[in-house]
Amino acid sequence: METPKSLNKQLITQRANMVYVFPKQLVFLQSQAQRKTLLAGRAFGKTFLLLVCMGYFARMMPRAKFFLAGLTFAQLLNIVLVDMADAFAGLGWQEYDEKTGLGHYVAFKAPPSHWPKPYKSPKTWDRCISFITGFCLQLLSFEKPDANRGGNYDGGLIDESALFKEEWINTILMPMLYRANTMRFAGNYMHNSLYDFTSNPWHESGKWVFKTEELMKADPQKYFFLEGNCDDNPMLHKDYKKNQQAILSPLSFRIEVMNERIAKLPNCYYPSFNDERHVTANVFAYDQNDSGVWVPTLSDYNPSKPLEISFDFNANICSAVVCQESAKELRIINAPYSKQADKDRTLVETLVYKICSLYSGHGKKEVFLYGDAYGKSKSANSKTTLYEQATQVFRDAKWKVFDRVIKFNPDHVDKFNLIDKILLENTDQYPRVRINQNTCKALIISIQNSPIEPGFEKDKGSEESSIAQEFATHLSDCFDYILYAKYSAAGRKRKGKAGEIRFLGS
């Protein structure tokens, strides 16, 4: 006689074949471990597999309530749920039609009154996906992590878990499992399960995802860890890998596509930089329109305040960081760069045109320029300086420009000490630096991969290497220039009383 576990395994295999999962995806589905991690590169099908798991939970755990956690609600809306209808259709699920009364699930609104409800129903349904079986999936975003505390769930899924802090898993998500419906789901191996799906982490704070791999060695019944990349997907177009290798930088290709692990660079120029403190995903505000569709807007950007932009100039790449101050907080809201000049434009002009296009709807068109002092010198083959080129493009786009470029590049030790003091955040003399994780990925990588020389000089070796130049030290130099110009003694021309820092956003 077959056991419930073997029947479940057969059922998963049959349904997996209906949605055309390939062998390595099927290995993940067939594992009956409660704690599972999938670490895979682009085109493996992580999101599709997550949605298939969601559909299985809905069918095999009636009246259960699970969570789907993402770093931002926008990430869940715009990436994870985009292919939901296709994935569910392969499992036999169709969206409910109020006119015909036919269908199996509804999103972001209360389910039909005649459907069964979860044993632990949510208080509101505006961030839920509900099924005809009574199963409910509640979306949790971690822009404000503590807002998720206190719930009761029968299991959960995490999208791009390497973007999460380990503390959130241990103190927020895990305590919400193992305290609901134990008797109702006795013998169901999916109860209290937690599955996370992720790419390889770029940051140190995300490397906790490898712990499942270690735990599996000690307890393979409870823990399961699987790695994969595009080579595992037999349904992928034959030219996908070659095209990605041509488009991406070598480092991005190795990490994002081939799923290679990278080690932290020793002797970092920014010893007090901590991505858990200085990097934030809490940059969206959300409203539902009249049709019930969630519309995200950026909340760290204020169109009614000036922009402060710091530049770094190089023959192969021109880089910038776009900042705004608010309540003694320096918000780095974007990190654009250009590596190829447009026709009839210099590389500098190309970058500034890009910035003007990004902020074409900006209300207060005032820009404060910072950056490399050498950009004020004319080159042998140019009649204008690099800053004059940038200024002209801004003015042509009706921006009012204020020059805040320091007249000299500072001593290495002075710059190092000031930036370290700011990043330590142990005094009110300086603002708190917060970097937008969604728009400044290249800047964050540049900061984390900037070595230091013995004389407190930044090691610029990456600028001469084969590494993608957006990940080299250029963007971190933009970061240095604006911090030094705004908050050093040399940059205090714009301050009030002697020794007092006046914040533009206050």
Q: Where do the domains of the chain lie, and which CATH numbers do they carry?
A: 33-237 (3.40.50.300), 275-494 (3.30.420.80)
Which pTM does this prediction carry? Answer: 0.64
79: Cβ–Cβ under 8 A, 6 or more apart, which residues? Answer: 47, 159
Q: Give residues with Cβ within 8 angstroms of 92, minimum separation 6.
A: 18, 104
- DSSP notation for 170-191: IIIIGGGSSSS-TTTTTT-TTT
Show pLDDT as tens, one digit a residue, over the chain (506 residues): 334 344 344 434 434 446 788 999 999 999 999 999 999 999 999 999 999 999 999 999 999 999 999 988 888 988 888 888 888 888 888 999 999 999 999 999 999 999 999 998 999 999 999 999 999 999 999 888 888 888 899 999 999 999 898 999 999 999 998 776 778 888 899 999 999 999 998 777 788 999 999 999 999 999 999 999 999 999 999 999 999 988 876 667 888 899 988 765 556 888 889 888 898 877 766 777 767 777 676 677 899 999 999 999 998 999 999 999 987 899 999 999 999 999 999 999 999 999 999 999 999 999 999 999 889 887 657 788 999 999 999 999 999 999 999 888 788 888 888 998 899 898 888 999 999 988 899 999 999 888 888 777 888 888 888 788 998 999 999 999 999 999 987 665 544 433 333 444 43
Exposed/middle/buried for 463, CB within 10 Å: 0-12, 13-18, 19+?
middle
